[in-house]
Chains A and B, each alone.
Chain A
Amino acid sequence: MMALSVPTIFTLRVMRYMRVALALLLTLLLPAVSHAADWTIDQLMHSLAQTRSGRASFVETKSIAMLDKPVESSGELFYSAPDHLEKRTLKPKPELMTVDGDTLLLERGRQKYRLQLQAYPELAAFIGSIRGTLAGDRKALERNYRLSLDGSAAHWTLQLLPADEKMLAVIERILIAGEHDTVLSIAITQADGDSSVMRIEKLAQP
């Protein structure tokens, strides 16, 4: 998704995936032979992890039972490894959500809310699904979700199902779709039937 910038920093995390990297190298050398069966979660995670930072625009549609029609919002996303995430909503109302480590800061006009994600496990799981995917951090994702992957490198869908009951009471399923190392959409279905779909389009680094 946001930012395809070729890996510049060879991080320790990447070191852990050395073996996978070797495998990936082989698939890159033989692109013609690659097919769905080769496309594993580890490979996906590895290629996602290559993205150290990126910028993208988003359009999010939320269907909320309480509201008669879906609400649409749009703006920009900014991510920088390993745990900085910014969601800058421009429409319908300017709003900025910044997540750094465990702290979430929400600014709406003059109002500022600072939350510790640990104190809001549902919110933490939400943020974790997005951040974990962008970082290609399988371990972090598997702390909250059971993962399954569909499709090929060219067009994949990662499904996240909450691992524990408490989370299941809030989130039913998260579907993340993408191409190669780019995330294209995040669809969240909540346990109460409300849902949201965020479509993401990569922007050039400023």
Chain B
Amino acid sequence: MTTPRRACARSGRTAIALWLAFILVCGIIISRSQFTTDLSAFFPRSPTQEQQLLLDQVRDGLASRLILVGIEGADAATRARLAKQIAHRLRADPAFVSVNNGEPVSAERDHAYLFNNRYLLSPAVTPERFSMDGLHAALSDSIDLLASPAGLLVKSLLPRDPTGEMVQLLSHFNSDTHPPLAYGAWASRDGTRALLLMQTRASGSDTDAQQHAMLAIRQAFDRASSASAVTPAAKLLMTGPGVFSVTSRDTIKSQVSRLSIISIVLIAMLLLLVYRSFAALALGFLPVISGALAGVAAVSLGFGTVHGITLGFGTALIGEAVDYSIYLFVQSEQDSADQQNWIKRFWPTVRLGVLTSIFGFAALLLSGFPGLAQLGLYSITGLIAAATVTRFVLPHLLPANFRIHDVSSIGASLSRLVRHAAILRWPAVILLLAACAILAGNRTSLWNDKISSLSPVSPTDIALDASLRADMGAPDVRYLVVVSGASRESVLQSAEQVSAILQTQVDQGNLAAFESPSRYLPSLATQRARQASLPAAAVLETRLAQAVQGLPVRVQRFTPFLADVAAARSQPLLQAADLERTSMAMAVDALLIQQQDHWSALLPLTAPAGAEINANRIRAALNAMGLPNVLFVDMKAESDRLYSGYLHEAILLSLGGLVAIIGLLLFVLRSPLRVLRIIAPLAAAAITVTAGLALFGQQLIILHLVGLLLVVAVGSNYALFFDRPDHSPDHTISPRTLASMLFANLTTVAGFGLLAFSNVSILQAMGITVAPGAILSLIFAAIFARKSRA
């Protein structure tokens, strides 16, 4: 006896040393890890070209940098004054590229840019327009305009711009709709809010910068409203992708920390109640802590960053990982020799349970949805670490006189219950049939097919966003034409060609309007061509003299025009820098994107009033042009496709996980009948839970499906214990084992049950599925367990 015991002690010391080293390494990795709470967990790992575009827009696009601000309460005049004061303060803040509230702050610069460069910018500038006939037609058109109600606005321009290029340009720029003005600042159409639209310098995915921007807005508002003290009722509202990132980070952070604390306290109380020993409690948490550290470290190594959602999920896994030490403590008899005995008798079953869980989770690893893949890696590593520590380290750490409260009385009453559980077989079958009927009845509305169902943003915030967006008259861009190329010049040239096609579609009424960066910054080639269309001074003078024949104007009036055209012929071509400090810079910034040496131009399309865009028609028109690198993107269809891709994949992966678990059990147990007996209660639990969700009107998202996979993985432990053929000669399960299963189940339910109260939809979905699923699989396992021969 002496030699094996010494060997055991030596191997124990080695195990403890290895474990400590492992914990240390994990700690180092974690201290260097990056944690994120942005929406990246919802982005695919290998996107298509269209999806990439969608994601870039969500992450860095102009849309991601917009913050919509509303001011409610007080009266309209006060709201407008507050909006102006906020705008005034923030315009000086370098964190904001632009702050718009309807005040004409950049109107003068915009006007100057358009007017001074009208001969390079106006699409109407062609050699024909500056022929004698062209000039005559343009002049008589301008004279007609002079007589119209708008004449007041163009009268002063006529001597310098008789061909009306400025009017041409303005007609394009006035097509977008702005909110109405009240007291000189934007207001919602119903007149209850003042509105501001801000563009941050930082991208929407830079959550820290977005938080600073929000803080700056809040401070500007507080300062403006406290300056006059008469406006206690005024209220600040903010929305936008950046705001969403900030609020979801706050939500996830507070949820994760709150859930972990509650979860630990709850499980600790539960275990204390069972063990009645603080030493046992502390030791019991060692595998959990090891598992959690290993999981986070593995995700950090595997993905580079750890998502907050993964940590949130980790809290639930506390309840699962603690099971192994429960099995060890409760199932062991009351002396240390028996821990070795436990290892012999129970470890193979626990190991098989761990393996089935791992096989289930392994399916998630393959997911193209990084959020799921992280959960998979976290769970696998965490469970392996927890089980390994329980098996190889924990027994060596137990003090010689280690004892927990005797639970055999609980076990005995459980035994009595289980002996009679078989009575419930028929009611259980009826329940199962009812569940199947509910599922069949709800099969069309079972799944939530909106990608927004994954978003951690609350429905209230989404409603506020929609309402402010509607006020602003800024509908979501659904259709985009994307042109890509190797240089700014090449994409601008392609954008001009696409614009020509789109203009035809506008003329035919298939589109209301479209936007293009080439409108504000034409390609150099086009600018050169327009310059070349302008005749030399002497030629122009002669043509103009002929052109005014028959018109009620004298040619002498247009001397400034001759001078302007002469200047335009030799003016330097426009560069992006020339747009600075105009409101058009924002548009070009948004629509012209550089990524390393790759450029793309975005041309958003606006549907005709009261009609949809016929995507096929536009696509056909674009294809007919035969331009390479032109992509017609339906953002909504892409995001829906992205989600349905995830959903489809998750279904396949879950089925794959199920098949892997069955395969594993078949391989280990080598008895299809036993496998069936193990799987049946799990399937029954999964079906009943799903029916329950449907009954309560909860539409299923991907995470419910993942939850079901977890139910199977977790529940397989119970079914395996019930199935162990070697309990005792009469095939009854030992009271001690029953008690350990009940405690393990309670901790699992506590861990996942807490997630059900989370207001992060994916965590909630997981919790609401796994908690009842775990209980049901224990009950079904008991009901459908092999009948004792007693």
Q: Is A24 interfacial (CB 8 A cutoff)?
A: no
Q: Which one of A31-39, A63-71, A153-161 is at the B interface?
A: A63-71
Task: From known contacts A71-B143, A118-B181, infer whether A108 and B148 are also in contact, taking CB-CB under 8 Å.
Answer: yes
CA distance in complex: A110, B153 (Å): 19
Chain A residues with Cβ below 8 Å from B180 are 101-103, 116, 118
Q: Is B553 interfacial (CB 8 A cutoff)?
A: yes
Q: Is B532 interfacial (CB 8 A cutoff)?
A: no
- In B108-154, which residues have CB < 8 Å from any A CB? 143-153
Task: From known contacts A64-B146, A66-B553, infer whether A126 and B174 are also in contact, taking CB-CB under 8 Å.
Answer: no
A11 → B minimal CB distance (Å): 20
Q: Is B184 interfacial (CB 8 A cutoff)?
A: yes
Q: Contact check, B553 vs A68: say whether CB atoms are below 8 A apart.
A: yes
CA distance in complex: A114, B144 (Å): 19
Chain A residues with Cβ below 8 Å from B553 are 66-68
Identify which of B148, B153, B158, B159 gathers the most chain A CB atoms within 10 Å of its CB.
B148
Q: Contact check, A66 vs B159: say whether CB atoms are below 8 A apart.
A: yes
Q: Is B4 interfacial (CB 8 A cutoff)?
A: no
B29 → A minimal CB distance (Å): 58
Q: Is A189 interfacial (CB 8 A cutoff)?
A: no
Q: Contact check, A67 vs B552: say whether CB atoms are below 8 A apart.
A: yes
- CB nearest neighbor in A for B148: A95
Chain B residues with Cβ below 8 Å from A101 are 180
Q: Is B178 interfacial (CB 8 A cutoff)?
A: yes
Chain A residues with Cβ below 8 Å from B146 are 62, 64, 66-67, 71
Q: Is B554 interfacial (CB 8 A cutoff)?
A: yes
Q: Contact check, A114 vs B175: say whether CB atoms are below 8 A apart.
A: yes
Q: Contact check, A71 vs B181: say whether CB atoms are below 8 A apart.
A: no
Q: Is A83 interfacial (CB 8 A cutoff)?
A: no
Q: Contact check, B153 vs A116: say whether CB atoms are below 8 A apart.
A: no
Q: Is B212 interfacial (CB 8 A cutoff)?
A: no
Q: Contact check, B174 vs A87: say whether CB atoms are below 8 A apart.
A: no
CA distance in complex: A122, B171 (Å): 20
CA distance in complex: A170, B152 (Å): 9
Q: Contact check, B152 vs A126: say whether CB atoms are below 8 A apart.
A: yes
Per-residue CB proximity of A101-126 to B under 8 Å, as 1/0? 11110101011111110111011001
Chain A residues with Cβ below 8 Å from B13 are none
- In A51-104, which residues have CB < 8 Å from any B CB? 60, 62, 64, 66-69, 71-73, 87, 89, 92-93, 95, 97, 101-104
CA distance in complex: A112, B175 (Å): 7
Q: Is B177 interfacial (CB 8 A cutoff)?
A: yes
Q: Contact check, A66 vs B158: say whether CB atoms are below 8 A apart.
A: yes
Task: From known contacts A71-B147, A112-B171, infer whether A102 and B155 are also in contact, taking CB-CB under 8 Å.
Answer: no
- CB nearest neighbor in B for A68: B552
Q: Is B572 interfacial (CB 8 A cutoff)?
A: no
Task: From known contacts A103-B180, A113-B170, A115-B174, infer whether A97 and B148 are also in contact, taking CB-CB under 8 Å.
Answer: yes
- In B423-470, which residues have CB < 8 Å from any A CB? none
- In B168-191, which residues have CB < 8 Å from any A CB? 170-171, 174-175, 177-178, 180-181, 184
Q: Contact check, B153 vs A71: say whether CB atoms are below 8 A apart.
A: no
Identify which of A71, A87, A122 gathers the most chain B CB atoms within 10 Å of its CB.
A71
A87 → B minimal CB distance (Å): 6
Task: From known contacts A71-B143, A97-B148, A118-B181, infer whether A194 and B155 are also in contact, taking CB-CB under 8 Å.
Answer: yes
Interface size on A, residues (CB 8 A): 37
Chain A residues with Cβ below 8 Å from B151 are 62, 64
B323 → A minimal CB distance (Å): 67
Chain A residues with Cβ below 8 Å from B104 are 119
Chain A residues with Cβ below 8 Å from B107 are 119
CA distance in complex: A106, B148 (Å): 9
CA distance in complex: A119, B175 (Å): 15
Contact of B181 among A67, A106, A119 (CB under 8 A): A119
Chain A residues with Cβ below 8 Å from B174 are 112-115
Chain B residues with Cβ below 8 Å from A104 are 149
Q: Contact check, A66 vs B148: say whether CB atoms are below 8 A apart.
A: no
Chain B residues with Cβ below 8 Å from A115 are 174
A58 → B minimal CB distance (Å): 12
- CB nearest neighbor in A for B173: A113
B365 → A minimal CB distance (Å): 55
CA distance in complex: A135, B104 (Å): 30
Chain A residues with Cβ below 8 Å from B145 are 108
Q: Contact check, B155 vs A66: say whether CB atoms are below 8 A apart.
A: yes
CA distance in complex: A191, B171 (Å): 27
Task: From known contacts A116-B178, A118-B184, A119-B104, infer whether A67 and B143 are also in contact, taking CB-CB under 8 Å.
Answer: yes
B514 → A minimal CB distance (Å): 15
Chain B residues with Cβ below 8 Å from A111 are 171
CA distance in complex: A102, B355 (Å): 71
Q: Contact check, B153 vs A120: say whether CB atoms are below 8 A apart.
A: yes
Q: Contact check, B170 vs A73: say whether CB atoms are below 8 A apart.
A: no
CA distance in complex: A67, B155 (Å): 11
A78 → B minimal CB distance (Å): 14
Q: Contact check, A69 vs B552: say whether CB atoms are below 8 A apart.
A: yes
Q: Is B507 interfacial (CB 8 A cutoff)?
A: yes
A174 → B minimal CB distance (Å): 13
A164 → B minimal CB distance (Å): 15
B123 → A minimal CB distance (Å): 13
Identify which of A69, A95, A97, A122 gathers the most chain B CB atoms within 10 Å of its CB.
A95
Q: Is B10 interfacial (CB 8 A cutoff)?
A: no
CA distance in complex: A103, B177 (Å): 10
Task: From known contacts A116-B180, A116-B181, infer whether A97 and B149 are also in contact, taking CB-CB under 8 Å.
Answer: yes
Q: Is B258 interfacial (CB 8 A cutoff)?
A: no
Contact of B552 among A60, A71, A103, A113 (CB under 8 A): A71
Chain B residues with Cβ below 8 Å from A119 are 104, 107, 181
Chain B residues with Cβ below 8 Å from A170 are 152
Chain B residues with Cβ below 8 Å from A73 are 147-148
Task: From known contacts A110-B507, A118-B184, infer whether A62 and B147 are also in contact, taking CB-CB under 8 Å.
Answer: yes
CA distance in complex: A123, B150 (Å): 8
CA distance in complex: A17, B148 (Å): 36
- CB nearest neighbor in A for B189: A101
A55 → B minimal CB distance (Å): 18
CA distance in complex: A69, B143 (Å): 11
- In A159-190, which residues have CB < 8 Å from any B CB? 170
Chain B residues with Cβ below 8 Å from A72 are 147
Q: Is B557 interfacial (CB 8 A cutoff)?
A: yes
Q: Contact check, A106 vs B149: say whether CB atoms are below 8 A apart.
A: yes
Per-residue CB proximity of B678-719 to A under 8 Å, as 1/0? 000000000000000000000000000000000000000000
Per-residue CB proximity of B715-732 to A under 8 Å, as 1/0? 000000000000000000
CA distance in complex: A92, B171 (Å): 21
B739 → A minimal CB distance (Å): 76
CA distance in complex: A66, B552 (Å): 9
Q: Contact check, A102 vs B171: say whether CB atoms are below 8 A apart.
A: no
CA distance in complex: A110, B145 (Å): 14
Q: Contact check, A89 vs B148: say whether CB atoms are below 8 A apart.
A: yes
Per-residue CB proximity of A182-206 to B under 8 Å, as 1/0? 0000000000001000000000000
B115 → A minimal CB distance (Å): 16
CA distance in complex: A153, B552 (Å): 40
- CB nearest neighbor in B for A127: B149
A76 → B minimal CB distance (Å): 14
B101 → A minimal CB distance (Å): 13
CA distance in complex: A62, B143 (Å): 11
- CB nearest neighbor in A for B558: A66
Chain A residues with Cβ below 8 Å from B159 are 66
- CB nearest neighbor in A for B159: A66
B105 → A minimal CB distance (Å): 12
Q: Contact check, B557 vs A66: say whether CB atoms are below 8 A apart.
A: yes
A37 → B minimal CB distance (Å): 37
Chain B residues with Cβ below 8 Å from A64 are 146-147, 151, 155
A selection of 12 A-B contacts at a CB cut-off of 8 Å is: A62-B147, A67-B143, A89-B148, A93-B148, A112-B174, A114-B174, A114-B177, A116-B178, A116-B180, A122-B152, A123-B152, A126-B152
Given A89-B148, A113-B150, 9 other A-B residues pairs in contact with their CB atoms under 8 A: A72-B147, A92-B144, A102-B180, A108-B145, A111-B171, A114-B174, A114-B175, A119-B104, A194-B155
What 4 A-B pairs come out closest when comparing CB atoms? A118-B181, A71-B147, A68-B552, A67-B552
